[in-house]
Structure 1
Amino acid sequence: MASELARALSAAVRGEVRFGVAERTVYSHDASNYRQLPLGVVKPVDLDDVRAAVALCREHGVPVVPRGAGTSVGGQAIGPGAVVLDFRRHLGRVLAVDPDARTARVEPGTVLDDLQRAARPYGLRFGPDPSTHSRCTLGGMIGNNACGAHSVVWGRTGDNLRALDLLLADGTGLTVTGPVPAAERTRLAALPGRVGELHRALQSLAADNLAVLRRGMPDLPRRTSGYPLDALLPEHGYDLARAVTGTEGTCAVLLGATVGLVKAPAVTALVVAGYPDETAAADAVPALLPLRPLTVEGMAADLVAALVAAGRRPPALDRLPDGACWLFLEAGGATAAEALEHAGTLAAAVRRERPATAVLVTDPGEQRQLWSVREAGAGIVSRLPPDAAHPDAPAGGTEAWPGWEDSAVPVERLGDYLRELRALLARHDLRGVPYGHFGEGCVHLRLDFPLPGRPGAFRAFLEEAADLVVAHGGSLSGEHGDGQARAELLPRMYPPEIIELFGRFKRIWDPENLLNPGALVDPRPLDADLRFTGRDLPLALPYERDGGSLLRAVHRCVGVGKCVDTSTGVMCPSYMATGEERHSTRGRARLLAEMLRGEVITDGWRSAEVREALDLCLGCKGCAGECPVQVDMATYKAEFLHQHYRRRLRPLAHLSLGWLPLWLRAAALAPALVNRLFADPAGSAVLRRLGGIDPRRELPALPPQTFRRWFRQYRTAHPEPPGATPVLLWPDSMAELLDPAPAQAAVRALERLGYAVRLPAGPVCCGLTLVSTGQLSLARRVMRRSLRAVPPGLPVIGLEPSCTAALREEWPRLIGERGLPDRVRTFAEFLDGEQVALPRLGGRALTQVHCHHTAVLGTDADRRIEARLGLANRVLDSGCCGLAGDFGFTRGHFEVSVAAAERVLMPAVRAADPDTLLLADGLSCRTQIAQLAPGRRPLHLAEVVLRALDQG
C-alpha cells in the first residue's frame, strides 16, 4: 500500500513526496515523549497539492497529520501509519497585511516571527507569542490554541482569529469565521451539500446540549484541554473559528487564516519582582493584574541554576533582584515616559508587599537577555542541574521530560496548587523546575520521570496530577493541548456527557476518522509509543556528561526546534541552506536515536541513512553552543564516522583533507613546484579528482616559506627581548604551512607589546582535521606527539579558532589532557586579560566570527579589544561561513557551502565599502570570502592590532 500511495502522490503533487526510512524517522518525533513512524511525508508547494494529497490519502484509507514546526509537546504532530503534511517547508508566506482593518492573511506554514516582521512597519503585531516564536507556525498555533507571555493582555490564538479556510477529509472546502449573527446561522444551515449538513449538525449539537455545555466546560483563561465546544453557545455567537482552534488537526486541515493584529506599544520597560519562593510569587499575582501589565511571567531560581549549569550566564542575570523566584512584569507605552510611568506603578505595587523586591530594566538589550532565559526554559529544564539531580546522575544532570507540561488553574488558586504540586512531586520522588505564565495560572514543568525503566511510575504520577489540577478547578493543559500525553486523562476533567460530545463533534467534521486519529478522541494510551528505548554500542569517545552513553546524548534532543530557526545564529547552517528536516540538528539526533533503537534502521554503525544525514553536517558546533540542551552533533558525527569506516575504505576526502597537515608538510619542501601544479588546469583537475575535492574549488597557493622558517629568520634579526614575559604561540598547521601572515603579525605585535614569543620544540597539530573526519585513533596519536613538544608553564596563545577550540575541548575528551587546555587563550583573550595598552586605530570594520569561536571559545574578549582599538565594528549574524574546514572543499558539498555563505556573509562583504576592514580570525572564513569575493582580503585580529601599533 505504501509504495502504491507514494507513486500516486508523486504523480499528483508538485511538492516533495518522501516515503524513505530517513524521512519517516525524522518525522516520527515532535517535542513530546513519543515516537510514531508515519507512512510517509508530503511537502506541498501549494493548496492544490494539499487537496490532492488529502484526496489520495482518503482514497487509500490512510490518516493525515498536518504539521508545522513539529514542536508539539503532547504528540500532536506525529501519527502511526499516517501521511504527514509538512506545511512549513513551502506554504509559509504572509499574503497580506491590512493596517486599517488590523488583520493579516497567512498561509498555514507561516512562521510567527515572519508575521511579526511584516506587521511591525505598521506598529502592529500578532498578540500571542509562544517562546518558540522564531520557528512555530500559525497553523500549529491554531492547532493547539497557542498563547505565550502576552496572553494576559492580548489573549490566546483563538481570541485573535477572523476567519479560517479549511479542508475537510472528504475534500470539502469551507471558510469559518468568528461570532456569526443569528440570521447568518440560518443561512449557513440552509446551504446545500456537505457544508450545510455540517452547520446543521454543529448547531444541533449546541442547541441540544446547552445546559451540559454551560455546566461542564470550566471558564478558564488557559483551558486548552478537550474541544472548545462552548464556543458554539449562543452567548458566544456560534464562533466556529474559535471552536476549531485547539482541535489539533483532528477536524479539518487548515489552508489559510485571516488573523487579527493588535497595536504594539512603541516602548517597553521590564519590572523584575523578586520573591522568597514560587508560591509567594504566585500569591502576589492577583493584586498585580488590575494594573494591566503586558506580561506576568514566573521564573524560579532553579531555572537560572539549570541555565548556569549548562554553561550560559547572560550578564543581565546580574539585574535580578534578591529572591528565589521572579515575576517578569512588562509595561508599555507610546513614549518612554509613558512606559516608565506604567513600570513605576507596577514596581511600587510590588514593593508594598514585603519581602518582595523589584528592579526596573529599561535597556532593550538587557530586556532581550532576560526574556531569552525565560524563552529557552523548555530546553534548559530538560536537564536538571547536577546539584538538583540524583547523586548517581551523570555530570550533565538528570533528564527531565514533558508529560505534565502546562497545567493551569484559576490564578487566585495558583499558590495553593503549586504548594500541593510540590508535595505530590515529593511523594513520587520526582524533581522538576516550575515556571510559566503565572498571570493566567499556567505552570510549565518537566520532570525526571524514570523513563524508559518504569513507565508505570509515569502513569501513576500523571493520573494523580490530573486529579490535583481538577480539584483546583483547573485544566490538564493551559497552552500546549492534549495529544497523546493527556487525552486519555480528559475523563478526569470532564463529565461523561462532555466526553461523548467530543466524539460527536469529531465525527461531524471527520466521520471516517482520517485526520490525526487518536489525538483527542479514542486516544492512544499515554504510556504507549514512548521513544526512549535503544541500545548502547561500544564507543570511542567518553560522553562524560551523559554517563558514557551515546543514547543518552542523542536523547538530549527534546525537539524544541531551535535548530530550525533560520533567522539568526550559527545553528544549523545545513538546514538553513536545504530546509530539509533530516539536515537539522534535531533530524540528525532522531536518526541516531533510531539507529540505536535498531528497529527501522537495522544496520547500526553501517547505516547509509545516518551517513547521508551527517554528510552535510558542517561540524560547526553551533548546536553545542546554541541548542538549549547542548546537543553536540559535531562530536556525534566524529563518533559515527570513526565507527562507520572502521576497517573499511574511507572516502578520498578523508585521506586528502583529513591528512591535510601531512600533505602540506610534504608540499612545503617544494612550494613553487606545487603552486605551478595547482595553477595548471589539467594538473589541478587531477589533484581534485584524486583528493575527492569539488572541481569548482580553487586550490589555495602555498606560501614561499613556512612560518617556522620565517620565525627563525625573524629571531636572528630580532633576538628575544631581555626580561620580556615569555609566551608560547601555537603554530597550528594552517598558520605554519598555508597562511602564515596572521602568525607573523601576532609575533610582531606581541613583541612590540613587551612579550617574548616562543614556539613549541617541534611541529604540532591539534588533530582537528582527523577528528572531523572520524579518524579518532590517529588523532590521538597526533595529539600525544604534539603534547610532547609543548613546554610546561607558559601561557599558550592560539590564533586559529578551530584549532584553539580543539585544544580546549577535543584534547581533554580524546587524550585526557587538561593542563595544556587550561593554559590556552585566544589572541584576544590574552590581550584582554593582560590589559595591554593599545592605540586607537579607528575606522569601520565588518567581522565574520568563526563558528567554533562562537560555540566553544566565546567572543566577549574580541569585542572589548575591537572597542579599545576604536573600531566601529559590525559583527555579522551570519553563522558559519559555509567552508568549515574540509566541508566546503569536499565533492558534493559545494552548493550547501556557498548557500550558507550567501545567506548573510557574502552580501554583507560585497556591500562593504573598500575602506571597511574585514575581520575573520578563521582561515576557513578568510578562504571562503577570498574565493567568493575575489580582491577582498580579510584580516586576522592580530594583523589589525599590528596595524594599529604601526600607525600609533
Structure 2
Amino acid sequence: MSRPNAVPGAELARELAAVLRGEVRFGAAERAVYGHDASNYRHPPLGVVKPADLDDVRTAVALCRRYGVPVVLRGSGTSIGGQAIGPGAVVLDFRRHLGAVLAVDPDARTARVQPGTVLDDLQRAARPYGLRFGPDPSTHSRCTLGGMIGNDACGSRSLVWGRTSDNVERLELLLADGTELTVGGPLTAAERAALRELPGRVGQLHTRLQEFTEHNLATIRQGMPRLPRRTSGYPLDALLPERGHDLARALTGTEGTCAVLLGATVRLVEEPPARALVVAGYPDEGAAADAVPALLPHRPLTAEGLAADLIAALLAAGPRPRALDRLPAGACWLFLETAGDTPLAAYQAARALADAVRRERSATVALITDPEEQRQLWAVREAGAGIVTRLPGGGEAWPGWEDSAVPPERLGDYLRDLRGLLRRHSLRGVPYGHFGDGCVHLRIDFPLDRPTGVLVLRDFLEQAADLVASYGGSLSGEHGDGQARAELLPRMYGPEIIALFGEFKRIWDEGNLLNPGALVDPRPLDADLRFVTAPRRPLPLALPYERDGGSLARAVHRCVGVAKCVAPDSGVMCPSYLATGEERHSTRGRARLLAELLRGEVITDGWRSPEVREALDLCLSCKGCASDCPVHVDMATYKAEFLYQHHRRRPRPLAHYSMGWLPLWLRAVALAPGAANAVARSRAGALVKLLGGIDRRRVLPVFPAETFTRWYRRRRAAHPAPAGARPVLLWPDTFSDLLQPGVARSAVEVLEHLGFDVRLPAGPVCCGLTWYSTGQLGTARRVLRRSLAALAAAGLPADTPVVGLDPSCTATLREDLPRLLGADGRPLAERTRTFAEFLDEYAPDAPLPRVPLDAVTQTHCHQRAVLGSAADRRVEARLGLHNRVLPAGCCGLAGNFGFERGHFEVSRTIAERVLLPAVRAAEPGTVVLADGFSCRTQIAQLADGREALHLAELIARALRTT
C-alpha cells in the first residue's frame, strides 16, 4: 500500500538505514551535492542511497515504492540534460559500491558488468585479451556503463564501433514494481512467442510490449528518423519485427525512466594494435563538414571536428599545449584516425586518407604517427566540454543545445544555418564534435544573468529544434534529452509518436516512479535553472575573484559537472576525494556545496555552515584543481575565503594558531634551538602536539643550530661578493631559513659558483602562505606588506630576479600575492623564479656538473599547478641525470594539513597512492628529488628511511666532489 508523497524524508531515511548494508544520506550536504549534474538544472533530492549490493537496490526501490517517492539512478553524474537529478527523489548512487567488472569472456567477446562500472575499468579488464568496449565518450575515465546505457552514449569512434545500443547483449533489470527479468535481442518469432507464455508479470509484460508493437507498426516505421546519431525520445523502432524486437536496444537510451539496471552483458571489439592520426585543416567548420562524406569511404575510426574558437578558448584558459604546433593551417580541423595491425599499416592507411584530403584545394593536412603527440591532441578534444564553458573573451557558455545531430551529408548546411540562428539572437558558441556522424556539440552564451535571459534561452531552443527537425535530424545525438530537450520532442516527432512514448513508459513503470519528468510529461526546459534562480545572497567577500567579475557565485559556477575531479587519473586533483571516495570531498562536490551556501536554501547557515566546513576540512589546498580542472575551479582560494569568513570574530582550531602562525613560532624557537629540540623529544613533546592540534603520530622537526640567514651573514662578512657580479635576490622562506637551511646554503653555493652575487632582503620575509591557507587573510596581507618593505630596503635594482626555493612559497608569491595586494604585489610576482627557472633563464649556457645518476622526482602540487616544471627537465638534462618524474600525485602532507589532528590517515592514504610505493621501490643508489619541504618531510616520515634532496642540494653536492 503506497503512502502519499508528502511523507517526510526522515521516516523513509530511518527505515532505509535500518535495513540497508550501504550508506543512507539524507543530510543537507548530500542533498546539496547530488542536486546537480552536468546540466543547467538543480533538483535537490530527498536523499541519497549508496547501495552496497543488489539486495540493497531491491530493498531501496521497494521502500521508495511503498512511500511513493521517485527514484533517480546515478552513475558519475555527468548527464548534460538533467537525467541524473530529480526533485524530491531518492538518488541511487551506483558508482560507489557497484562498479565491478564481473567477467570477461574473450572467446565470446563479451563482458558482464555492474551498473556502476567505470568505462576505463572495463577497458583495463579487456585489454589483456586485445579487446575493448567500442563506445568511448570523452568522460571515459569516470562515466559508468549504467549511465552509458541510460543515455546510449557514443564517443569519437562510433563510426566503426557504433553507439552503446549497438554493443549491448543483455540487460538485467529490476522494475519499479519489484519484477526482475533479463532482456536481450534480437529475437526470432518463436522466441517472442515463448516469452509471451512466461508466467506472471514477466509474461504479461512481454505480451503487452509485443501487442504494443503490432498495433503501431506503421506509425513506428514512419515516425522514427533514420540517423547514425538519434538519442532523442525512446528508440521504439528497435521493437520492429525486422529488427528482432530487440528489447535490450529498445531500453538503451531510456534515461532510467523504465527500469533499474542491475547488470549488463556487453559486446567487445578488437583493440587496433596501431593507430595514426590525420589532421585536416579547413577555412571554417562548414567546409570541414562538407568534406566529411568524401572521406568516410576510407573508413577512418574517427571524423572529429573542432574549430579555431575552441582552440582560442583553450589558450585563454591556460598555457598552450605543444601538440597544437602540429595543427595545419586552417580555422577548423578534422581529426581522422586510422588503424592497422602494424604501425606501417596504420601509416599507409593514414597516407591514403591524407591524399584524399589534399584533393580538396582549400584543405591542409598533417600526418601524426607519434603516440604521445596523438594523445595530446586527443586530450584537447576530450577536454572540449569543459573548455568551452568559458568563451575566449571570458564569457560563460551553457549547455542546452548540446549535441544536435543531422544526416552527415547535410551537416555543412546545418552548421551554416545554426551559425545564422546564433547571430540573429546575438549569441555565441563554440561548435565541435562528431562530424562523421553529423553530431555537433555546442555551448552557448545565453545571458542567464539578465532578467530576459530565460526568454532568450527558450526562444533560441525552440527555433533550433525547428531547424534541426527541418533537416531530418535529432535534438540529441549523444547525451539524451532530460529536462533540457524533452519538452521539445513534439517539434521532432508527430503527436502519435509522442503518445506512444507515454504508453511505452507506462508498460514498464505504471506508477511513474522512475525518473519522472525526464522524457514523458517533461518538466519545462526553462525551469529549475541552477544559476538563474539562485538568489544573490549579500555575503561579504575578502578576495577579489578577478577572473569572475568579483563574484564568488560565478566562480563556483565554473564547475559544470564534467567530473574530471572524480577520475583516478585526473592529475593532482582531487587527492582527498581519491582517499575517501566521498563526492562531497571532490572539487565538484565542494563547488556545489559553496553554491548552495550562497543560495541559502539547502545550506542555510551561510559562512557558519558545518557541512561546508567539513567538506573543506579535507581540502589540501593543493591547487591541483586550478590547473587540472578543465574550467579551472580554484578550490584553494575558495577555501581560504570560507575559512576567513567562517572563523571571523570566532575562536579558531588550535592548528590555526600553531601551524598557521608557524613562521612566528619558528623565529622564537631559533633563539634557543637546542632547548626546543630537547622539549620536542621529551614527554613534553606530546603536550606540544596536543596543544598545537598536531596528530600524535607525527614527528616534530629537528630545529637547526644555525639558521640560514645567520649563516649567510657570517659567510658574507668573510667572503664579499666579487666586483661586477650580477645580483640575484634569494627569498629565504620560513622552511629554508628556519627548518632546513641546507637547501638555501646549497642554492647560494651553486649561484655563486655560476658568478652571481646572492643577496637577501633587508629583514625577515614571509610569503604568508600559512596564514593564507588557514583563512587568516588580514594577517597574510600585513605579513606580505612587511616583506615587500624588506625587499625594497635591500636597495637592489627593480629588475633584480628573485629566486624562490620552496614551490609552495614561490607559487604564493607568483599567484596569491597579487590577489591579496593587487597592483602592489605584481612587480614581485613577475620577477619571481624557481631555482630551476633561474638557472634555465639566466644561466642557460653556464657549465653545470655532470650527475649521471638515476633519480625519481616528486613534483610539488603547487609547482605542477602554478609554476610548471619544464625548466627542471631542461636543467636535469644539462646535469646528465637519468630522471623519472613520478605521475601526478599529491604527497598528502600539504603544509599543515598532514600534521593536523584528524588528517593523518587521509594524508598517509594519499601518499600511498603514488609517492611512497615509488620511493620504496627505487634502488638504494637512486636519488630522490623533491623541491617541496612538505614532500621531503612526508618522505622522511613515511618512506621507511628514505631521504629526499632539493635540486640545489644535488648540484651543490656534485660541485663539492669535482
Provide TM-score, normalisation by structure 2: 0.97
The aligned counterpart of 1:926 is 936
Render the CA deviation track for 1:833-858: whole Å, top value 9, x for unaligned.
13132232112111111000000001
Distance 1:600 1:358 in 2: 53
The aligned counterpart of 2:338 is 331
Whichever residue aligns with residue 509 of structure 1, its letter is W
The aligned counterpart of 2:390 is 383
Whichever residue aligns with residue 914 of structure 2, its letter is V
Q: Secondary structure at the match of 1:329?
A: strand
The aligned counterpart of 2:368 is 361
Show the 5 A alignment for 1:497-508.
Answer: 497-508=496-507
The aligned counterpart of 2:593 is 591
Q: Does 1:513 align with 2:512?
A: yes
The aligned counterpart of 1:643 is 645
Render the CA deviation track for 1:620-640: whole Å, top value 9, x for unaligned.
000001111110000000011
The aligned counterpart of 2:425 is 428
The aligned counterpart of 2:70 is 63
Residues 331-340 or 745-754, more deviating: 745-754
Q: Secondary structure at the match of 1:385?
A: coil
CA deviation after TM superposition for structure 1 residue 721, in Å: 2.5
Q: Is the 8 A contact 2:31 2:602 kept in 1?
A: no
The aligned counterpart of 1:240 is 247
The aligned counterpart of 1:484 is 483
CA deviation after TM superposition for structure 1 residue 949, in Å: 2.9
Q: Is the 8 A contact 1:225 1:475 kept in 2?
A: yes
Distance 1:359 1:730 in 2: 46
The aligned counterpart of 1:475 is 474
Distance 1:277 1:182 in 2: 50
The aligned counterpart of 1:862 is 872
Distance 2:432 2:955 in 1: 46
Aligned partner (choices 858, 861, 877) of residue 887 of structure 2: 877
Render the CA deviation track for 1:488-524: whole Å, top value 9, x for unaligned.
0001100111111100110011000100110000100
Aligned partner (choices 794, 818, 822) of residue 812 of structure 1: 818
CA deviation after TM superposition for structure 1 residue 878, in Å: 4.0
Render the CA deviation track for 1:66-105: whole Å, top value 9, x for unaligned.
1000000000000001000001111111111111111111
Whichever residue aligns with residue 273 of structure 2, its letter is A
Q: Is the 8 A contact 2:728 2:758 kept in 1?
A: yes
Q: Does 1:830 align with 2:831?
A: no
Show the 5 A alignment for 1:747-826.
Answer: 747-790=748-791, 791=796, 792-816=798-822, 817-826=825-834
The aligned counterpart of 2:284 is 277
The aligned counterpart of 1:230 is 237
Render the CA deviation track for 1:391-443: whole Å, top value 9, x for unaligned.
xxxxxx11000000000000010000000000000011110100000000000
CA deviation after TM superposition for structure 1 residue 951, in Å: 4.2
Q: Is the 8 A contact 2:305 2:433 kept in 1?
A: yes
Which segments of 5 or more consecutive residues in structure 2 lack a partner in the other structure? 1-7
Whichever residue aligns with residue 40 of structure 2, its letter is N
The aligned counterpart of 1:944 is 954
Distance 2:528 2:273 in 1: 47
Distance 1:47 1:719 in 2: 76
Q: Does 1:909 align with 2:908?
A: no
Show the 5 A alignment for 1:512-911.
Answer: 512-532=511-531, 533-535=534-536, 536-680=538-682, 682-790=683-791, 791=796, 792-816=798-822, 817-833=825-841, 834-835=843-844, 836-911=846-921
Residues 721-730 or 191-200, more deviating: 721-730
Q: Secondary structure at the match of 1:789?
A: helix
Q: Secondary structure at the match of 2:390?
A: coil
Q: CA RMSD in A?
A: 1.0
Render the CA deviation track for 1:781-833: whole Å, top value 9, x for unaligned.
00000001114331101010000000001110101111111100001111111
Structure-2 change in CA distance of 1:783 and 1:487 (3 Å): same
Distance 2:498 2:960 in 1: 80
The aligned counterpart of 1:416 is 413
Show the 5 A alignment for 1:251-262.
Answer: 251-262=258-269
- Which portions of structure 1, spanning 4 or more consecutive aligned residues, are displaced by more than 6 angstroms? none
Q: Is the 8 A contact 2:570 2:628 kept in 1?
A: no
Residues 415-424 or 54-63, more deviating: 54-63
Structure-2 change in CA distance of 1:347 and 1:951 (3 Å): farther
Distance 2:352 2:960 in 1: 55
Residues 917-926 or 840-849, more deviating: 840-849
Whichever residue aligns with residue 551 of structure 1, its letter is A
CA deviation after TM superposition for structure 1 residue 869, in Å: 1.7
Q: Is the 8 A contact 1:105 1:256 kept in 2?
A: yes
Distance 2:395 2:859 in 1: 33
Render the CA deviation track for 1:337-385: whole Å, top value 9, x for unaligned.
1000000011000011011000011111111110010000000000001
Residues 462-471 or 692-701, more deviating: 692-701
Q: Is the 8 A contact 1:161 1:178 kept in 2?
A: no
Distance 2:776 2:173 in 1: 53
CA deviation after TM superposition for structure 1 residue 452, in Å: 4.1
Q: Is the 8 A contact 2:398 2:445 kept in 1?
A: yes
Render the CA deviation track for 1:695-748: whole Å, top value 9, x for unaligned.
111111111111111112322343313322211111001111111111111111
Distance 2:725 2:215 in 1: 92
Q: Percent identity?
A: 75
Q: Is the 8 A contact 1:534 1:551 kept in 2?
A: no
Q: Secondary structure at the match of 1:295?
A: coil
Distance 1:704 1:105 in 2: 63
Q: Is the 8 A contact 1:534 1:593 kept in 2?
A: no
Distance 1:555 1:543 in 2: 12
The aligned counterpart of 1:391 is none
Distance 2:240 2:130 in 1: 34
The aligned counterpart of 2:273 is 266
Aligned partner (choices 88, 102, 122) of residue 129 of structure 2: 122
The aligned counterpart of 1:389 is none
Q: Secondary structure at the match of 1:28?
A: coil
Q: How many residues align?
A: 941
Q: Does 1:351 align with 2:358?
A: yes
Q: Is the 8 A contact 1:656 1:692 kept in 2?
A: yes
Render the CA deviation track for 1:599-635: whole Å, top value 9, x for unaligned.
1212211111111111111000000011111100000
Q: Secondary structure at the match of 1:136?
A: coil
The aligned counterpart of 1:392 is none
Q: Secondary structure at the match of 2:334?
A: strand
CA deviation after TM superposition for structure 1 residue 944, in Å: 1.5
Distance 2:564 2:888 in 1: 16
Q: Secondary structure at the match of 1:841?
A: coil
CA deviation after TM superposition for structure 1 residue 131, in Å: 0.4
Q: Secondary structure at the match of 2:303?
A: strand
Distance 1:679 1:223 in 2: 70
Distance 1:205 1:944 in 2: 76
